[in-house]
A and B are shown apart, each in its own frame.
Chain A
Amino acid sequence: MPIGGSNEHFVVRRSKQLGLVALGILVTVFAVVALRTSDIAVNNMETVSETGNTTSNIVIVQRESLVFVFAFEQWLSGTIPRRDLEVRRALLAERLLVRDDTGVSNGERVQPEYFQALGVLDDYMEAGPSGLLPPDDQIIIQSKSADALNGFIFESRQLVARIAEVSDEQMRQLVRDENIRRTKLYVVVLVVLVLVSLVAGFLTFRRLRDFRRIGVRIDNKHRELDEMRARLQEVDKDLQMRLERERTESAERKWIDSGVRSISAQFRGTPTSEAIAEFMVEGLGRFLRADSVISHSFAELPWPRIVKQWHQRPESQVDESFFAEFESRWFTFINRLWGDRRVDVVVDSNHIEISPDQIPEIVEITRQRARSWVIVPVGEGTHVMGFVLVAMVENARVWSAAEIELIQEVSAAAAGSCTQSRLFWQSMQIAENDAEVGRLIELDKAKNDFIENMNHESRTPLTSIIGYTEVALDGVDADAEPALASSLTAVQRNARRLQILIENMMQVSKTDLKHVPLLIATVDVGQLLGNVANSLHLGAEDCGVEVTLRLDSPAGDLLIDGDSSQLEQVFVNLMSNAIKFTPRGGTVTVVARQSHSGGDVVEVKVKDTGIGIPVKEFPNVFKRFFRASTATQASIPGFGIGLSLVHSVVREHHGRITFDSTVGKGTVFTVTLPARFTSTSQVDQTT
């Protein structure tokens, strides 16, 4: 197959060849011209010798001499004047001065006898008159010069014969030189011809080599083309596969999009998170033809836990204890899924090995109610909000990637809508409260001034109480008067507690809930709760409320790093609130334990059977001066400061406080605080 490039190459080659032929022709022409030039040179030798050749010169001298003789005889006969004779004589003299090619003048080649005779004739000529010779003189001079004249004629006729020997030798020399010149010329022409043919041969050889190379290149191109064709086929195959896959994916995508659209369309304009969750579970359940869908958002202040369910068959309804029982486990598990950007998929729980990233309790309680499920975490950024559980009760089911993606997208849309609705709800609240806030700010200032005064004023009597009790205790013999000693001790203890209350009140009013420096030390929460319970014991008895403290973990496991006086303040507030808001005959239960949900924490629950807080007031519980409507209706006194202080102290300790409440049934506050880095249980394990 001809290649464009080498065709061009071929043309170039051809023109080079033509050039070579032209060069050969030129050289030949040059040689011919050179040879012809040398022939012309030889032919012209005689012409040139008229001036330069010795023999020719002598011939001319001879002729000129005889012309002079003729002129002399005419002068002698009185035919011409001496002047004419002198002209001929001058021409002859001139001729004698001419030099031949060998550089010798004609005169030098002439014999002395010639000049001897010529000199005698010159003498006669000079002796005569300048005009015509007179007849008398003619006879005298004729007779006297006859010998000289004959001698001169003889010598003149001898000139050519004498010179002939020399001329022949010269001619032969000339012919020899000419032959050598011609030979040299032939050799040069021959050498040039040989060189030209060598160059032509070399170029031809190179062309042949180039042809071979072109052939090899063409073969290579063929191979490359074959390879390219093979590669193209592979690419084509790959493209086909991708197209196929994309077609499938876009079909799946369409399916997912239509599902997300149809379900989340209902979220728009839905006012509450609960309603959004209800739409979501039903929408997902019907779209995916699942048996059960449950959405669970973790309690997160000010929002309570929200669980919504949809079931194909109503008897599948799950009791909320299903989640409450292992709430912290659920949170840990979902948090982990969210952090790893994973979902939990179980195809058939009858054939399942619990993987390390699953939590056995969760798997166990879920498989009691379902055979196959998908759990998708829901959150924003690093923040976990809850999860969606889609399940088949009796059948195993392979969940496709598209189905899982659908659940993820729908639940994310629901989470977004919930956040929006919450923000909207909060902004409405803020607008409603705006006027009240302005009034409260003024009140707050007045209150701060008041507290500051009251604080100062109460310090003085407190000084007396603490001081006199101490002095009195110094003077009491505890063995002799045990009742008095323990009474005074109780006064002292409570005076100290009052002192702490005053200090904290001062902190609230002074710093306006800004940062209060913590004095960090190891705090035994169990012991702290014991002290607080003791100090509140009498008050609780007066109110007819039974206070129970239960430590569910060994005392050594309830250690945290914190500011004991501030933490004491936290639990004094929570427990005294619980007592205060619980009607006579009710109970307050305080439970402390170590928990491992979301890292090691110490968890304290303060649970009462009190009047409760209405759900719509939940968002305000930790605001300053907030008082539940149930409390004001029951005319229970209070400032509305305690919980805001508790909230800020717990936060300062990197802890978490949550609550749940039902009006008329009671309230439970849960405080979790990070456990000390090295807990005793870990030490026990290592020893």
Chain B
Amino acid sequence: MNDNKRPIIVVADDDRDIRELIKMQLALHGFDVYITDNGETALELIIEHQPAVALLDIMMPKLSGIEVARRIRENPATSAVWIMLISARSSGPIDGDLDGLDVADYITKPFSPHDLVQRINDVINREKHGH
């Protein structure tokens, strides 16, 4: 899915500082990162770049992270993408139904950037094992 050696991550979060923080941190740790502030663009980016992981904030204008996830799974071209959700809720799921979305991990705000990198790597390694 990616010919490049650097794994691709698409990040969607409507908070500019957090987008930038995630981009900065992931770039530092060897990822190619594409960021957007809404779900619609996120979907376009995912179809275009076929990322290893889509990191989606649940609470976004226009299209929520869960809706984006649902469309990724519905589209055969993107169904192999790992999905990680970010939420501002402290505990437990969540608005909307996650059944059948095959969410790889679930991250709550506030999170530690170190922790985030670790968990993305865990998911990617899991994919490698899977193939």
Contacts and interface: CB of A to CB of B under 8 A. Distances in A.
Interface of A: 455-457, 459-468, 470-471, 495, 499, 502-503, 506
B22 to A, nearest CB: 8
Given A459-B109, A464-B18, A471-B21, 20 more contacts: A459-B90, A460-B15, A461-B17, A463-B15, A463-B21, A463-B110, A463-B111, A464-B17, A464-B21, A467-B18, A467-B21, A467-B110, A467-B112, A467-B113, A468-B21, A470-B114, A471-B25, A471-B113, A495-B110, A506-B90
Contacts of B59: 456
Contacts of A466: 110-112
Given A459-B88, A464-B21, A506-B90, A470 B15 contact: no
A265 B89 CA distance: 62
A461 B112 CA distance: 13
Given A470-B113, A471-B24, A499-B110, A463 B18 contact: yes
The 9 tightest CB contacts between A and B, nearest first, are A463-B110, A464-B17, A459-B109, A463-B109, A459-B88, A456-B88, A467-B21, A462-B110, A466-B110
A459 B113 contact: no
B34 to A, nearest CB: 19
Contacts of B25: 467, 471
Contact of A464 (B15, B28, B114): B15
Contacts of B114: 470
Contacts of A471: 21, 24-25, 28, 113
A470 B21 CA distance: 10
A506 B17 CA distance: 24
Contacts of B88: 456-457, 459-460
Contacts of A464: 15, 17-18, 21
Given A464-B15, A467-B21, A503-B90, A459 B110 contact: yes
B100 to A, nearest CB: 26
A461 B28 CA distance: 22
B50 to A, nearest CB: 27
A468 B21 CA distance: 7
A455 B21 CA distance: 21
Nearest to A475: B28
Nearest to A495: B110
A464 B109 CA distance: 9
12 contacts: A456-B88, A459-B88, A459-B109, A459-B110, A463-B15, A463-B21, A463-B109, A463-B111, A467-B110, A467-B111, A471-B21, A471-B28
A300 to B, nearest CB: 36
Interface string B78-107: 000000000011100000000000000000
A461 B24 CA distance: 17
Nearest to B25: A471
A467 B11 CA distance: 16
B102 to A, nearest CB: 25
A495 B112 CA distance: 12
A506 B111 CA distance: 17
Nearest to B89: A456
B56 to A, nearest CB: 15
A515 to B, nearest CB: 14
Contacts of A468: 17, 21
A459 B21 CA distance: 15
A676 to B, nearest CB: 29
